[in-house]
Amino acid sequence: MKQVCFKNANIVDVLEGRCFAGDALVEDGRIAAVGEVGPLPEGCRVVEMGGQYLAPGAFNCHTHITISSDADMGLIGGSDARLTLLAIQSLQGFLKAGVTFIRDVGGYSGIDILLRDEIRAGRVQGPDMLACGRCICITGGHSWTLCGLQADGAEEMRKATRDQLRAGADWIKVIATGGIMTKGVEPGAQQMDLEEMEAVVREAHKCGAKVCSHAQGASGIRDSVRAGIDSIEHGCYLDGETISRMVEQGTWFCPTLAASHFILYGDSPVKQPDYVIRKTKAVIDSHIRSFKDAYAAGVKICMGTDAGTPSNPPENSCSEYVLMVEKGGLTPLEALRIGTIESAKLCGVEESLGSITPGKRACFAVYRDDPLQTIATVTDNRMTIKDGEIVYRA
């Protein structure tokens, strides 16, 4: 048996909302004991933590590993070789940020699906992944210039969904409304119809797959929720009626506050087109208000950043924690829960991940300060541990 003890740590317990001094003993990648672990077994490796804070590895539930955050829109895409290299670099970026699980929601050429399987088999290093393959949009809809698979009407939606399921998608991603990064479409405008989304949901759910919806404008969000979609992405213009229905149906919300924040306040080396800046300025206040309203009403919320959008690389993933506190008014504990145990529930892995609990997999981030007191410490991850192995060290 392979044993390792992370000694003299402060353990961040997101379930109980406290930090306590102690050790974490890991056996074959699983947490065996936390706190007072007693005399160490013979041959146990010791990693001295020097009082640093051991937290559950973060989740990023809205990523695009085949989209580069520092390219201008004209440079997106390219050869599969280049995109695969970019994806592998993105995976390293997440590990650097202390992210040990991602849900990739739209990419090129099935690279996400292939890498998911390679990571699972232990042949490629990266966070664990759920993958969507290509996202499905209407003809000329948001993302058609990126990786969108264009389909129109219920019949074609069924076909497109089956196509992505055959390719190995865990989740199906649909584009319900316009968005910021595509020229000529508006975030507030609905694109996919109710019947089209119902067709996707029916096909996906038959196979046990789930559906997420890029939905920014109010009517597109409303019809996504009516169609039975499992998670709303971005949700910039949420209204009270839709929020109530989301609570009732248990629909998830992945706000991705980082996406609009970094377009306006990030340090991209590339100047973004005017339409990107104009649309972001138009949605940002409403976006934050939607997040606050949804949280206050009890909507289930997970953490995602839309990594791959301008100035918003995988390495920035944990900025979302800080934005939820500073812009969204949450306590650090509330934000940490969203990025760990709540996101684990969205991904269906809460039995094995999302908290530092004996029996769960040993996937951790390591911070210098107590994140329950100083949330900004999460943006300076010191070490990432996946299944008991150190996969990144600052």
Kindly indicate which of the ranges 186-194, 221-229, 298-306, 350-358 contains the residues binding Zn ion, using the contact rule CB under 5 A: 298-306
According to the binding rule CB under 5 A, does residue 128 interact with Zn ion?
Answer: no
* One residue of 128, 193, 230, 306 binding Zn ion per CB under 5 A: 306
Residue nearest to Zn ion (CB): 306
According to the binding rule CB under 5 A, does residue 230 interact with Zn ion?
Answer: no
Kindly indicate which of the ranges 162-170, 215-223, 263-271, 301-309 contains the residues binding Zn ion, using the contact rule CB under 5 A: 301-309
According to the binding rule CB under 5 A, does residue 104 interact with Zn ion?
Answer: no
Beta bridge pairs of residue 253: 232, 301
DSSP state of 270: S
Instruction: Give the nearer residue to Zn ion in terms of CB position, either 230 or 306.
Output: 306
Which tokens in the block code for residue 355?
């908290």
Q: H or E segment at 113?
A: helix 111-120
Q: H or E segment at 198?
A: helix 194-206
Which tokens in the block code for residue 134?
């290509």
According to the binding rule CB under 5 A, does residue 193 interact with Zn ion?
Answer: no
Interface with Zn ion: number of residues (CB under 5 A): 1
d(CA 378, CA 101): 16
Q: H or E segment at 304?
A: none
d(CA 38, CA 21): 14
Instruction: Give the nearer residue to Zn ion in terms of CB position, either 264 or 376.
Output: 264
The residue among 20, 31, 7 whose CA lies nearest residue 363 is: 31
Instruction: Give the nearer residue to Zn ion in terms of CB position, either 190 or 309.
Output: 309
Kindly indicate which of the ranges 164-172, 191-199, 300-308, 372-380 contains the residues binding Zn ion, using the contact rule CB under 5 A: 300-308
Instruction: Give the nearer residue to Zn ion in terms of CB position, either 182 or 190.
Output: 182
According to the binding rule CB under 5 A, does residue 112 interact with Zn ion?
Answer: no
**Are 25 and 37 a contacting pair, CB within 8 Å?**
yes
Instruction: Give the nearer residue to Zn ion in terms of CB position, either 212 or 366.
Output: 212
Three-state SS letters, 316-359: HCCHHHHHHHHCCCCCHHHHHHHHHHHHHHHCCCCCCCCCCCCC
Instruction: Give the nearer residue to Zn ion in terms of CB position, either 103 or 337.
Output: 103
Kindly indicate which of the ranges 123-131, 134-142, 302-310, 377-385 contains the residues binding Zn ion, using the contact rule CB under 5 A: 302-310
Give me the residues that bind Zn ion (CB under 5 A), please: 306
